[in-house]
Structure 1
Amino acid sequence: MKLFISADIEGVSGVVHMEHTMRDGREHDRARMLMTEEVNAAIRGALDAGATEIVVNDSHGTMRNIIPESLLPEAELIIGSPKRLSMMQGIDETFDAALFVGYHTQAGENGILSHSYDSRVVKGITINGVKYGELGVNSLIAGHFNVPVVMVSGCQLLALEAKALSPNIETAIVKKSVFRTTAQNLHPARAQEIIREKAAAGIRKRSEIEPFAIKAPFHVEVEFLQPGLADAADISPLVARTSPSSITFTANEIMACYQMLRVVISMAGSALS
C-alpha cells in the first residue's frame, strides 16, 4: 500500500508565529524539529495501517524544512523548490491515500496563521463560487489522481474546514486557535500520538472516503490584498480583471487550473520585489 504525505508547518503543535515559519525566524529550527516529528507520527500511523511505501513532500515555504536525518527511514522525502506540483509534488494515480500534516485554515478565516499559498499576496481564492484554501485546492489535485485525503492535522478550525469538504475524513486536532497568532497547544508527544492514531484510522477506512472533486469547467477568482498585486497578475492574457484587486480565469482541467493559479500568485508576488 502506497501513501502520500504533504507536510506544512503552520498547523504543527507549538507553531504560532512567523518566527516559527520563516527561514530566518529565531524559532524556525525548533519548528522544523516539531514538524519533522509530526510527519514521523503520520509515517508511524501509515505503517501501523499496513503501508509499504511512503512518500513525504515538504510543502512549506522553501520546501527545505523537514530534517532528512531525523525522518523515519521507511519514508522517502521530496525537498526543495521549485516543484511543478508544489505542495502536491510526487502524487500520482499509484497512491492509495494521502495525509496532510501541519495544515492551516484558508485566507480570511479564523485559525492559526491562516492564509492561502502566499500570505503577502492572496486575500481569497474562489472556484466555481466556493472559497477554497490550500486544503481544498490540494485535495482537488489528489482527487484528480483518484486519491482520497484520509487525514489532516492542524487546529480545530482546520478540522471544520476539512469536514466541510469530506465528512468522513479523520482530523487530528493538535491545537486550538485562539487568535491568528495565539493557540492552546497539546504537548508535542500527545499531538504526535493523535496524529499516529488518526492517520492509521483514516487509512484503514480509505474506502469510505471519496476523492475530492468538483465539476469542470473551473471558474477561478483570485482576490489580492491590494490593487498593485492584481496589476502584476493582470499582465497575463489568460486572465480578466473583475475589480481593482481581483482577477479571474477559466480552465477546463484541474491541473491546468492549479498551475494557472500558481502562475498568477507568483506574478502578483513579483510586485513586492
Structure 2
Amino acid sequence: MRIYFSVDLEGICGVVDVEHTRRDGREHDRARKWMVQEVNAAVEGALKAGAEKIVVNDSHGTMRNLLPEELHPEAELIIGSPKPMSMLEGLSKDFDGTFFIGYHARSGAFGVLSHTYSGRVVADLKVNGRSVGEPGLNGLVSNFYGVPVALISGDQFAVGEALDLFPGVVGVITKEAIGRYVAKCPSPEKAKKMIEEGASKAVNLLRSGEIKPIQVPSPIEIQLKFLNPGMADLAQILPGSERIDPLTLRYVAKNMLEAYKAIRAMIYLGYSSIK
C-alpha cells in the first residue's frame, strides 16, 4: 500500500493568521513544527494500518516548510520549489491513495485563510461549472491518475468540499473556523490523535475497496476569475484561452491533467501583472 501526502499549512490546528503562514511571519517557525507533527501523526497511522511506502510533498508557499530532521523516518520528502506539478509533485498512478493534510477552503468561501492557489490572484475557479478549491482541484487530478483521495484534514469547510466530491473520503476536522482569522481548536495532542486514527481508517478503507477512484469526465471546462482585469489581460495570452468577461477566462482541456496545467499557467501569468 503506497500513500501520497500533499501537505499545506493553513488547515493545520492552531494556524489562523498570516504570521503563521508567511515565511517572514513571526510565528511561522512554530507553525512549521505543528505542521510536521500532524504529518507524522498521519504517517504513523498509515503505517500501523499496513502502508508500505509514504511520499510527502511539502505543498505550501515556498514548499520548504517541513523540517526534514523532524519528519517521521519512514516517510520520503519532496521539498523545494518551483515544482512542475506544484502541490501534486511526485503523484503518479503507482499510489493507492492520496492524503491531504492541513488543507483549507476555496477562494470566496468561509474558512480560515481561504484561497485557491493564490489569494492575490484567484477570485473563483470553476471546473465543469462547479466552484472548487485546492481540495477539489487537486483531488480531481489525483482521481484522473486513478488514485482516490482517502483522507483530508483541515477546518470544516475544507473537509466539507472533499466530502461533497469524493465518496468515502475520511475527513478529520482539526479546527472549527469562526472567521477568516479565528478558529476554535482542540489541543494539538488531540488533533494529532484524530489524524492518526483517521489515517489508519483511510488505509483500511482503501485496502477493503470501500474508497475507490471516481471517474473524471472529459473534456474539462475551466472558468478562472481573477481579482482584477489586468490579470486577465496577461493570462489570456495562454493559447486556447477565451476572455468571457473583464475578470474571467475560459479554457477547455481534453483531460484533467491538461486542465490543471492550464490553470497553473494562467495563475502564474496573472500574478506577473501585480505591481
The structural deviation recorded for 1:120 is: 0.4
Q: Which residue is equivalent to 1:50?
A: 50
Equivalent residue for 1:227, pick from 229, 232, 235 = 229
Q: Distance in 2 between matches of 1:212 and 1:132?
A: 16
**CA gap 1:212/1:124 in 2 versus in 1, 3 angstroms:** farther
Answer with 94-103 or 161-170: which moved more.
161-170
Structure-to-structure mapping, 1:88-167, within 5 angstroms: 88-167=88-167
CA distance in 2, matches of 1:128, 1:159: 21
TM superposition shift of 1:229: 1.2
Quote the residue 2:177 is aligned against. 177
What is the rounded CA distance, in whole Å, between the counterparts of 1:249 and 1:75 in structure 2? Answer: 37
Q: Does structure 1 retain, via aligned residues, the 8 Å contact 2:144–2:216?
A: no
Shift of 1:238: 2.0
Distance 2:262 2:66 in 1: 27
After TM superposition, the structure 1 stretch with the greater mean CA deviation from structure 2, 42-51 or 155-164, is 155-164
Residue of structure 1 in register with 2:252 after alignment: 250
The SS at the match of 1:191 is helix
Amino acid at match of 2:235: A
Question: d(CA) in 2 for partners of 1:179 and 1:250?
Answer: 35
SS at match of 2:103: coil
What SS does the aligned partner of 1:143 have? helix
Query: 1:152–1:170: 8 Å Cα contact kept in structure 2?
Result: yes
1:267 partner letter: L
Report the counterpart of residue 8 of structure 1 in structure 2.
8
Unaligned runs of 5+ in 1: none
Q: How many angstroms apart in 1 are the aligned matches of 2:148 and 2:167?
A: 12
Question: How far is the alpha carbon of 1:167 from its aligned partner?
Answer: 3.2
Whole-angstrom distance in 1 between the partners of 2:54 and 2:226: 36
CA contact (8 A) 1:105 1:157 kept: yes
1:120-147 Cα shifts (integer Å, max 9, x gaps): 0001100111111110111111112111
Q: What is the DSSP-based 3-state SS (H/G/I as helix, E as strand, rest coil) of the residue aligned with 1:220?
A: strand
What is the CA–CA distance in structure 1 between the aligned matches of 2:42 and 2:31, rounded to whole Å? 17
- Which of 210, 213, 216 is the equivalent residue of 1:211? 213
Residue 216 of structure 2 contacts residue 256 of structure 2 at CA under 8 Å; is this kept in 1? no
| Distance across 2 between alignment mates of 1:120 and 1:104 | 16
Q: 1:133 to 1:213 in 2, by over 3 A?
A: farther
Bigger shift: residues 78-87 or 226-235: 226-235
SS class of match (1:25)? coil
Tell me the distance in 2 between the aligned counterparts of 1:157 and 1:132.
12
Q: CA shift at 1:186, angstroms?
A: 1.2
Matched residue of 2:98: which SS? strand
8 Å CA contact retained: 2:136, 2:165? yes
Gaps of 5+ in 2: none
Q: Counterpart of 2:212 in 1: which secondary structure?
A: coil
User: How much does 1:212 deviate?
Assistant: 3.6
Cα distance in 1 for residues equivalent to 2:228 and 2:122:
9
Structure 1 Cα separation of the partners of residues 257 and 154 of structure 2: 26
- TM-score, normalising length: structure 2: 0.97
Do 2:149 and 2:169's aligned partners in 1 also have CA atoms closer than 8 Å? yes
Kindly report the root-mean-square deviation, in angstroms, between the aligned alpha carbons of the 2 structures: 1.0
Secondary structure (helix, strand or coil) at the match of 1:205 reads helix
Q: 1:239 matched to which residue of 2?
A: 241
Q: How many residues align?
A: 273
Structure 1, residues 55-104: CA drift from partner, whole Å, max 9, x if none? 00000011000000000110000000111111011111111111100001
Counterparts of residues 29-68 of structure 1 (less than 5 Å): 29-68=29-68
Any idea what the Cα deviations from partners look like across 1:171-195, whole Å, max 9, x if unmatched? 1111000001100111111100000
Report the Cα distance in structure 2 between the residues aligned to 1:124 and 1:223, rounded to whole angstroms.
Answer: 5
Q: Is the 8 A contact 1:152 1:162 kept in 2?
A: yes
CA contact (8 A) 1:166 1:212 kept: yes
Distance 1:230 1:199 in 2: 40
